[in-house]
Amino acid sequence: MRVLGIETSCDETGVAIVDTSPWEAGEPAGKGLLGQALYSQIAMHVDYGGVVPELASRDHIKRVIPLINQTLKESKSTLKEIDAIAYTQGPGLAGALLVGASVAKGLALALNKPVLGIHHLEGHLLSPLLASNANIQFPFVALLVSGGHTQLMEVTGVGEYAILGETLDDAAGEAFDKTAKLLGLSYPGGPAVSALAKLGTSGTYQFPRPMKHSGDLDFSFAGLKTSVLTQVKKNTQNGPLNSIDKAQIARGFVDAIIEVLVSKSISALKKSSMKTLVVAGGVGANEQLREALEVACQKEGIAVHYPPLHLCTDNGAMIAFAGAMRLKKNPQLASKDWGFDVRPRWPLDQLS
């Protein structure tokens, strides 16, 4: 089965074609990734310090068809060889989602092929299985850390997700982005804050570890951002932040957020008596998080898995792959219903 995946939930237009044969033969699913193309709109939104929804939708319209053609070429596939089309149905920006949904449904109607709406976070959640050396068995605990979400999930199978804990306010990626803004770094701030933190010394600034000892598996990052703001204000009383202060603040912020993410992940594994952790979403690319998780998981005898770095942030491969996995499990899910709706707000545990 060949599945074409289309992702347009935010500021990346992603397209990919996945073939299920290697995986049916017991090989890592990543071998079935025949081709993919991605266009990031980051440069367009950078001047605004964040994603402008209307600009995002218009750009998706411009990019999506050329990217589909590019992916078909790279995959040496024709449209006739595509067995099903998967697209991101939500959550995300309504206008941006509508672009992917209309293209997917229009194409499916023209080709008379089944089509399936995918939950964006399910795409992230399953993306570690695309790593070329992936050997991940269900059940596992997933730490989903992106620009819009921070959740710990219990994953017992494809489509079987229970939320163990989540953020009560800002998402981890959002906290990185807001801290970057306070430090005068450009959007998206995660990679920039992470790089700057490497130049700082731990302990110079000690920020709070919100909810680390709350006893549950929820997170809260709004207070951490406020502490960073307070420190920035103190350091700018007599002039702009110097580069040393910036690096020390970045280090203090990264140490605090990583400590909470790692500690809650380990608690989730212990509470659910599981030995496998899967990390997904944009913040999953963070070096300091990966290093700290390696150490903590090794100590606890836990195996930890990540998507390949280029598949941590939004992409079409994860949507094609999630579509293929869902259809393998339940072929009835794909429909030839050409009406479409998108779900800008869609809790993952409401996925039927």
Using CB under 6 A as the criterion, which residues of the chain lie in contact with ligand KG4 when the complex forms? 10, 146-148, 173, 176-177, 188-191, 194, 281-283, 285-286, 313-314
Least distance from C-beta 58 to Zn ion, angstroms? 20
Rounded CA separation 90/88 (Å): 6
Q: Is the CB of 146 or the CB of 267 nearer to ligand KG4?
A: 146
Least distance from C-beta 281 to ligand KG4, angstroms? 4
Q: Is the CB of 118 or the CB of 283 nearer to ligand KG4?
A: 283
Q: What is the DSSP string of 77-145?
A: --GGG--EEEEEEESS-HHHHHHHHHHHHHHHHHHT--EEEEEHHHHHHHGGGGSTT----SSEEEEEE
Least distance from C-beta 271 to Zn ion, angstroms? 26
Q: Is the CB of 77 or the CB of 346 nearer to ligand KG4?
A: 346
What tokens does 155 get? Answer: 């994953």
Q: Is the CB of 173 or the CB of 210 nearer to Zn ion?
A: 173
Binding partner at 286 among ligand KG4, Zn ion, none, C-beta below 5 to 8 Å by kind:
ligand KG4
Please report, as ranges, the residues that interact with Zn ion according to CB under 5 A.
146, 314
Q: What is the DSSP string of 309-326?
A: GGGTSS-HHHHHHHHHHH
What tokens does 327 get? Answer: 């259809």
Binding partner at 188 among Zn ion, ligand KG4, none, C-beta below 5 to 8 Å by kind:
ligand KG4
Least distance from C-beta 266 to ligand KG4, angstroms? 20
What tokens does 297 get? Answer: 């998981």
Binding partner at 173 among Zn ion, ligand KG4, none, C-beta below 5 to 8 Å by kind:
ligand KG4
Placement of tokens 């149905």 in the chain: 89
How many CB atoms are located within 10 Å of the residue 203 CB?
A: 10
Binding partner at 190 among Zn ion, ligand KG4, none, C-beta below 5 to 8 Å by kind:
ligand KG4
Q: What is the DSSP string of 151-199?
A: EEEEEEETTEEEEEEEBSSS-HHHHHHHHHHHTTPPSSHHHHHHHHHTT
Least distance from C-beta 171 to ligand KG4, angstroms? 7
Closest to 104 in 3D by CA, of 13, 170, 213: 13
Binding partner at 170 among ligand KG4, Zn ion, none, C-beta below 5 to 8 Å by kind:
none
Q: Is the CB of 96 or the CB of 211 nearer to Zn ion?
A: 96
Q: Is the CB of 84 or the CB of 260 nearer to ligand KG4?
A: 260
Binding partner at 258 among Zn ion, ligand KG4, none, C-beta below 5 to 8 Å by kind:
none
Q: Is the CB of 269 or the CB of 285 nearer to Zn ion?
A: 285
Binding partner at 176 among Zn ion, ligand KG4, none, C-beta below 5 to 8 Å by kind:
ligand KG4
Strand 276-280, strand 140-145: pairing = parallel
Least distance from C-beta 183 to ligand KG4, angstroms? 13
Least distance from C-beta 118 to Zn ion, angstroms? 12
- What is the DSSP secondary structure assignment for residue 54, as one 8-state letter? H
Rounded CA separation 331/20 (Å): 13
